[in-house]
Amino acid sequence: MLTTTQSAIAADLDAFEKTHWLTSSYLIAMSSLAPLMGRLSQLFSPRLCMFYSTLVVCVGSVIVSLSKTFELFVLGRAVTGAGAGGILIVAVIISIQMSSLRRRGLYIGLINSCMTLGVSLGAVIAGALEPKIGWVSCSFFH
C-alpha cells in the first residue's frame, strides 16, 4: 500500500530524501520482533498474543494517520510493523497447532498466499483511493 502512496506522503511530510525509511522502518520492526512473538506465544496463549498484536497494529495505524512529522510517521510504521510481525508468526503457530502433520504445509502456504494477495490488492486499492481521499484516510486501512 505504501508504494503507491509514497510520493504523496513524502510531499506532505517534506521527506523526499528519506523515503526509504517509510518502508524500512516497517520491515525492520516486523522481522526483528517476529522471533520474540514466537517465544511469547509459548509463554502466553497464541490467542492472547494475536489479540495484542492486532491491537499494536491498530495503534500504529492511528499514529501513522495522525502524524504531522516524518519522525512520527516512521515511528507509527515501526509500531505497525511490530504488530504485523506478531500477527504473521502467531497465525503460523496457530495453524501448526491446529493441523495435522500432513496438512501443515498446505495451511502455511495458504497463510502466505493470503498475505501476498492482501499486499497486492492493498497497493492497487490504495493507488485508486489516494487521489480521491488522500493518504491519511488510506492509512487507516493498513
Residue written as cell 501476498?
A: 116
pTM, entire model: 0.81
Name which of 98, 99, 25, 34 is nearest 64 in CA terms: 25
The predicted structure's pLDDT at residue 119? 81
Confidence check: pLDDT of 142 > 60: no
Query: In Å, how far from its chain's centre is CA 126?
Result: 15
Query: In Å, how far from its chain's centre is CA 92?
Result: 15
| CATH fold label, 2-138 | Growth Hormone; Chain: A; (1.20.1250)
Residue spans of the domains in the chain: they are: 2-138
What is the percent of the chain with per-residue pLDDT over 70, rounded to a whole number? 89
Question: What tens digit of pLDDT does each residue of 96-114 get?
Answer: 999 898 999 999 899 889 8
The predicted structure's pLDDT at residue 16? 75
Q: What are phi and psi of 134, to 5 degrees?
A: 90, 160
